[in-house]
């Protein structure tokens, strides 16, 4: 794309960090170690869905000048309905935060032998520094920091594939949609929740709004249409780059586990996976994996805190300073670390919680972006809406099957 367009990139890359959080690592690593290449198709399909969803979220923020939570807050008339919607969205954001802080704590333990509880405190403290960058220096500086962490994540998680590449036949076979048992369905829902994350849907619309705040009001026909079209073109590139990076890394994690950890005991935990990677691929690859995990926790927890603040502001018109909110939302993760709950199990379960929050973010997004009264000439085309409905139906169906398996298993 033209050089000038490069300056418009960034919001999707920040939102894309949500697809590279420790919950993704745990879900994809566990899937590869337990089922080999079986769930490759889930990672690929989820990433394709994520492209459309993130583009629609950014479009809403660019064209209307408001985030998805702000739009919903203005449209949900009943105060109790708004509070109920906020509560489910907030619980999903908290589940996200738990995964991210736990991942950072585990990484610090692997790298420096720091106790998990102290590692959680350090992860939270560093995330507060990153949020201070956003508050004091603005969204562009925040983007640069997060993109730098994303580059670290990419190196950390992909390096092992160059040492021990996967079996091509296994990868191709993994593209055939199927499940092996209820455990594979649970992991598929976990991968889905980790890939199409509700808080990323909320956050991307706000990130686009913050970056391009001067655009707005296009739905009333007063916005600069040419500028909006330029921004939407740049956003398509932005989302494509972000999803290619996120999808490649998530697939690399699963393939690394499938090729090197299948059948080995203890690899269903991050600590066990790190030990097996170190034993099979060498200390350098093991260290890079831990560094990537740390960068993943630090970057994603900062974006998650930003999303949670936007959810509260948009739905309840209450704005708590980001740093204060960060302190409050650290509590659940620190409690889990303090009582000694298995971090990896908590990570995987948190992703399942996320998968159940997807319809509450996705269905309103599709509804709003399909309306000409909301987006004017930039409203969804018919095929976009149809694809979105199909994706939503598939996600809800998978969650229903998962719930049935859990209740009857």
Angle, vertex CA 195, rays to CA 271 and CA 253, nearest 5: 40
pLDDT at residue 365 in the model = 94
Whether this prediction's pTM lies above 0.75 is answered by yes
Task: Determine contact, residues 27/351, Cβ cutoff 8 Å.
Answer: yes
pLDDT at residue 156 in the model = 92
Longest dimension (CA), the chain: 62
Highest mean pLDDT: which of 85-89, 184-188, 227-231, 322-326? 85-89
Structure token digits, residue 103: 């991942």
Q: Quick one: how far is CA 342 from the chain centroid?
A: 22
Q: Is 114 helix (H, G, I), strand (E, B) or coil?
A: coil
**Cα distances (Å, whole numbers) of residue 286 to 90, 180, 233, 242, 407:** 35, 30, 39, 25, 38
List the domains of the chain with CATH numbers: 3-408 (1.20.1740.10)
Report pLDDT digits (tens) over 143-153: 888 888 889 99
pLDDT at residue 213 in the model = 66
DSSP string across 250-278: HHHHHHHHHHHTTT-TTTTSHHHHHHHHH
Report pLDDT digits (tens) over 249-265: 999 999 999 988 887 77
Rounded Cα distance, 81 and 364, in Å: 14
**Main-chain dihedrals φ then ψ at residue 291, nearest 5 degrees:** -65, -40
| More confident call, 326 vs 256 | 256
**Cα distances (Å, whole numbers) of residue 144 to 13, 14, 207:** 10, 9, 13
Beta strands in 158-298 (DSSP E): none
Structure token digits, residue 87: 């509560």
- Cα pseudo-dihedral 227, 233, 235, 239, rounded to 10: 180
Rounded Cα distance, 176 and 112, in Å: 41
């Amino acid at each position: 794309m033209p050089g000038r367009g490069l300056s418009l990139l960034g919001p999707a890359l920040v939102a894309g960090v949500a697809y590279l959080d420790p919950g993704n690592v745990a879900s994809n690593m566990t899937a590869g170690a337990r089922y080999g290449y079986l769930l490759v198709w889930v990672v690929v399909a989820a990433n394709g869905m994520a492209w459309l969803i993130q583009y629609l979220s950014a479009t809403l923020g660019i064209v209307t000048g408001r985030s998805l939570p702000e739009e919903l807050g203005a449209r949900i008339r009943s105060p109790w309905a708004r509070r109920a919607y906020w509560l489910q969205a907030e619980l999903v954001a908290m589940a996200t935060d738990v995964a991210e802080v736990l991942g950072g704590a585990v990484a610090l333990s692997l790298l420096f032998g720091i106790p998990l509880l102290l590692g959680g405190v350090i992860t939270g403290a560093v995330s507060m520094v990153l949020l201070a960058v956003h508050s004091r220096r603005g969204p562009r500086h925040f983007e640069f920091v997060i993109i730098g962490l994303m580059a670290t994540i990419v190196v950390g998680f992909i390096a092992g594939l160059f040492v021990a590449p996967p079996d091509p036949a296994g990868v191709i076979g993994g593209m055939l949609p199927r499940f092996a048992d209820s455990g594979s369905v649970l992991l598929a829902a976990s991968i889905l929740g980790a890939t199409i994350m509700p808080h990323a849907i909320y956050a991307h619309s706000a990130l686009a709004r913050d970056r391009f705040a001067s655009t707005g009001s296009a739905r009333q026909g007063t916005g600069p249409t040419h500028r909006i079209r330029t921004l939407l073109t740049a956003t398509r590139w932005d989302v494509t780059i972000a999803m290619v990076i996120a999808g490649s890394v998530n697939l690399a994690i699963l393939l690394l586990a499938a090729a090197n950890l299948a059948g080995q005991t203890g690899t269903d935990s991050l600590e066990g996976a790190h030990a097996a990677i170190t034993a099979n691929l060498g200390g350098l690859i093991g260290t890079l994996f831990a560094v990537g995990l740390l960068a993943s926790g630090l970057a994603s927890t900062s974006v998650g805190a930003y999303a949670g603040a936007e959810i509260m502001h948009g739905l309840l018109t209450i704005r708590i300073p980001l740093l204060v909110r960060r302190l409050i939302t650290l509590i659940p993760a620190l409690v889990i670390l303090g009582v000694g709950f298995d971090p990896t199990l908590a990570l995987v379960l948190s992703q399942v919680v996320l998968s159940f929050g997807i319809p509450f973010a996705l269905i309103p997004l599709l509804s709003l972006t399909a309306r000409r009264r909301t987006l004017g000439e930039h409203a969804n085309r018919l095929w976009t809406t149809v694809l979105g409905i199909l994706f939503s139906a598939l996600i809800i169906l998978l969650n229903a099957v998962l719930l049935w398996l859990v209740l009857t298993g």
